[in-house]
Amino acid sequence: MKNVKKNQPVTASETMGNQGERTQTTQPERKDSNVVWDFFCSVKLAVVIILVMVVACIIGTVIVQEKTLDEYMARYGYGFATFLRYTQLTNVFYSYWFSFLLVLLCANLICCTIKRWRNTFLQTGFILTHLSLILILLGGVIKFQTGVKGGVNVYEGKTVNYFLTQQLDRNGKLDYIKKDLPFSIALDDFILEKNEPKFQLVSFVKSSDRQKALEIKVGKKQRVPGSDYKVFIKDYIPDAELKQEPVNSSDSPNNPAVYVKMYSSDDVLAEGWLLANEQNFYDDKKLNLRIEYLWKSSQQALDKAATSVGNETPMVSVAISDWMQEYPLELNKTIKIEGSGYAVKFVQYAFNYGDKRPLEEQPPENPAVLVEINGPEGVESRWVFEKFPDWDKMHPARYKEVKITCSGFTSTRLAKNTVRVLQSPDGKRTLVHISDGKIVETVPWELKKKHAIAGTNRQVEVFDYYPSFDFKREVIRKSDEVKQPAVLVELDGPQGKMEDWLFANSQYATWYKDKNFALVYEATGDSIKHFTSKLRIVENGQTVAEKTIRVNDPLKHRGYAIYQSSYDPEAGQFSGLQIVKDPGIPVVYSGFGALCFGVIFIFYIKPFLRKKQKKGVEE
């Protein structure tokens, strides 16, 4: 046995020597210490990064993402909206600083893993679980920064080699960017499978803003809850068709209308009724030609319309509480509303909202005016749509008490060639041809006489004239199957009784006489059960892949996934496809695979190996 000295005093020289040895052994560690390495190996760094990312995720949830600057200004004001845009808080998860946080967290995990790694097989689970987190985070960075997603509509029998993505420009405006594909997508067939149709009758009381679904039962009278209106279902047809025959109800000009034909040589290209008080124009978009019918109350008004190029000025209506005023559209003119603290300015207008072409080339499909409202809380910019007057009710607005509508845009548009058919009560009839904003011809018109449109190969003829245009209506039964049902309804209210046929395929409500009560007969839910597309991938004129895709069952090719996302709701002639390319998916999947193997190793393989080692030591 070795002799061990107990309680033996330590000399000063020995103490000095030990201290010297400690000094010599610790000094190299201080010299070799790396501040950057220690920084990335710090657990505190990981905690800080995770906390910042948690806050970022909360902000990205609270603040609605990827909206236009106008929408953020309407919600938060100009100053805060600009701050959100420049800090990318309006697109948190795709921002550069969020990706930087992910990369920084990856670097921290890598450094911590290396620092704590002991080169033994038993640490395989530790390495795999840490590696999985790194791969998942890197996959997210790759997706956010290099992944693309967009959509395209493809018609049956057609091919496309691109798709469109939405992107906010530098001014915070939403725009579409065209992305080319390295192959073409051909749509061979599009199939819609429909459910059994179901329909409902919905009542709406405007004064109380209440709607209620009513029972559809022939012979039953129902009182609309909370109102003085009663509804009586008098008849029901499961598959109905409305036949309308134009008639002239009187010789008084209560609703003047003309039947117009347009020819190319002797061939009729278009024909139909133009009503002075309703649909008074026809547009040929290919030729940029408009034919319009204007009824003027006097000879003086007719002469004025025949000698002026412009139509009537579009109007914008401004209402606050019980006050309302209509103003002619004058761009960049500020209108101060006395006693309200508001001022309104008309900034811009378009015949087709979102169309980038010049005004004279835009079809009058979605007229809109951009309005600036200056009030107590700053300036609010708002688009007002002629065809959708209630659009602002469904979107956030700072000054909700200010109601703005516009009208007259569609009728004021001039095409390159505009032919005006003018008429007045005293029998004066004038036809005016306007080309490129100038009057080129003014001639009288007669019934059933062709007039050549100068500078074109077209002719126009006023074939017939009804002073008081009306329809003779007849509802007939087409079949006993439920296809296009209709109900005959009698409405009883404060102004007496009225009855009308309601068709399920109509997009308009039927209003009672006082304009306070309405009925809508409509389909309920989505009548489409499935929609599929038979696609082919074409490269260099050869089909390299094909598949019938459904929702959540895409066609994948060269890193792209082609999903079925939508369809043509009217004719079912095109398929809406979503194109996704996510290079980060393989990396993320690899991370989840590493995580699974790491967990299996930690909970099953590692305990088994330790038990085996312990048994070997004991033996």
How many C-beta atoms lie closer than 10 Å to residue 214's C-beta?
19
Q: Is 307 exposed, middle or buried (0-12, 13-18, 19+ CB in 10 A)?
A: exposed
φ, ψ at 271 (rounded to 5°):
-155, 155
At 619 the pLDDT is: 64
DSSP single-letter state for residue 610: H
Q: Is 476 exposed, middle or buried (0-12, 13-18, 19+ CB in 10 A)?
A: exposed
At 461 the pLDDT is: 94
Q: Hey, what are 455's tokens?
A: 């500078």
In the block, tokens 């404060």 appear at 494
C-alpha to C-alpha distance for 220 and 237, rounded to whole angstroms = 16
Name 226's Cβ contacts closer than 8 Å, sequence gap at least 6. 205, 208, 210
Burial 263-275 (b: 16+ CB within 10 A, else e): beeeeeebeebbe
At 18 the pLDDT is: 42
C-alpha to C-alpha distance for 416 and 104, rounded to whole angstroms = 60
Amino acid at 449: K
Task: Give the three-class secondary structure for 389.
Answer: coil
Q: Is 91 exposed, middle or buried (0-12, 13-18, 19+ CB in 10 A)?
A: middle
Task: Give the three-class secondary structure for 341.
Answer: coil
CA distances from 488 to 204, 369, 474, 516 (A): 18, 40, 12, 20
Beta strand pairing call for 417-423 and 289-295 = parallel
DSSP single-letter state for residue 559: T
C-alpha to C-alpha distance for 257 and 127, rounded to whole angstroms = 83
Range list of H helices, 161-291: none
Task: Give the three-class secondary structure for 571.
Answer: coil
Reported as type and span, the H/E element at residue 78 is helix 78-86
At 78 the pLDDT is: 83
At 30 the pLDDT is: 43
Secondary structure in 3-state letters for 104-127? HHHHHHHHHHHHHCCCCHHHHHHH
Does the model's pTM come out above 0.75?
A: no
Chunked mean pLDDT (size 10), the chain, 619 residues: 42 40 42 73 86 88 81 83 85 84 86 81 84 85 82 90 79 76 92 81 89 91 91 94 91 92 89 87 84 89 85 82 84 86 90 82 83 89 84 71 83 80 92 89 93 88 94 90 92 93 87 91 77 92 92 90 83 83 86 88 86 76
φ, ψ at 177 (rounded to 5°):
-115, 130
CA distances from 271 to 234, 259, 536 (A): 37, 7, 41
C-alpha to C-alpha distance for 419 and 609, rounded to whole angstroms = 93
DSSP single-letter state for residue 287: T
Degrees (nearest 5) of the Cα angle 133, 139, 143?
A: 150
Task: Give the three-class secondary structure for 392.
Answer: helix
271 within 8 A of 298, measured Cβ to Cβ: no
Secondary structure in 3-state letters for 347-381? EEEECECCCCCCHHHCCCCECEEEEEEEECCEEEE
Degrees (nearest 5) of the Cα angle 218, 219, 225?
A: 90
